[in-house]
Structure 1
């Protein structure tokens, strides 16, 4: 029983470590959607700002879903271009309506991006940019959270040890007194009682 109690606390911290890291993995894989164009509103130029996380200029994983459609025509030019600060070309694709449109995925440095959509008249685009801002810091997050939990585990164990070391036994201030008075053997009162109750007492005169 003692051995089971001894291993219970480390086992609970191990479970907490697994749970916290699983939650961080789920958070890091979350995507932030940014709508570029929709069938109801298609614009040639759209700007999207990718902000740095925690003031660190690390590239963030991203992907863009693209599709083109035209209700009244079967042909036309389509395409898209992504530019960083209107200078650096990230990706460019051009084709014709009906071609298979490649779905872009890669990384984006913090900055302002211009997405140029190429469509002929009567063609609409559906474009959405997904950014995973925390995935670039997933490893660092696992390390920091794990070290923090280990520190808390050792701190908690140290506090328990100190508490047991300095714990004093509780003394009750209201001690119950016995209602009976202890009689001492051989006292004069006791001898007097014995003399009166004895069947061999001296007869009265």
Structure 2
């Protein structure tokens, strides 16, 4: 196998690995955090590049400020339907809810008392659904660049070969001095 094909295979692997890394990046949105103004209802948008479903992850923590155990809950609604509901107390650990739902607007509703610090973060992966389409597009683009590069190299090589052959085929003419062409310069009197 020619070294050029191996290099293009490595290039395709690098490009697709790069796309994989990019497509797996998450976008985070803080819903509530300690020190910021608490809101019991926040809207968020779930989007997807390809398809109509989006993966999301909701990370939530409830901590009591005064040491008293409080009842708390968190709810996710989409199109007036509850798609997730959790009830608990402030003595638990941080929780993570992962799911897939239709893309669109969601509302995160938090029920907690005044003496509760709430940390809620929504993570989404908007490019994750485009992984296979991206691999196809980037592989095709790398293949086209490799093919075009090979064609251009062949054309340049052929032109160089034709240029050398045409120079060899022409006899080189050397100028000969003839006495009839040369004239003494005319000088003003």
Q: State the TM-score, normalizing by the size of structure 1.
A: 0.74
More strand by share: 2
Partner secondary structure for residue 95 of structure 2: coil
In structure 2, distance between residues paired with 1:62 and 1:50: 8
**1:35 pairs with 2:5:** no
Cα pair 1:57 1:109 within 8 Å, conserved = no
**Equivalent residue, structure 1, for 2:140:** 147
**Equivalent residue, structure 1, for 2:42:** 46
Larger radius of gyration: 1
**Equivalent residue, structure 2, for 1:14:** 9
**1:60 pairs with 2:54:** yes
In structure 1, distance between residues paired with 2:107 and 2:11: 44
Partner secondary structure for residue 98 of structure 1: coil
In structure 1, distance between residues paired with 2:48 and 2:60: 25
1:57–1:142 CA distance, 2 compared to 1 (3 A) = closer
In structure 1, distance between residues paired with 2:17 and 2:111: 42
Cα pair 2:64 2:70 within 8 Å, conserved = no
Partner secondary structure for residue 8 of structure 2: helix
Q: CA deviation at 1:109?
A: 2.0
Structure 2: tracts of 5 or more residues without a match? 175-189
Q: State the TM-score, normalizing by the size of structure 2.
A: 0.79
Structure 1: tracts of 5 or more residues without a match? 1-5, 178-205
Partner secondary structure for residue 67 of structure 2: coil
In structure 2, distance between residues paired with 1:46 and 1:112: 10
Partner secondary structure for residue 25 of structure 2: coil
1:72–1:176 CA distance, 2 compared to 1 (3 A) = farther
**1:83 pairs with 2:77:** yes
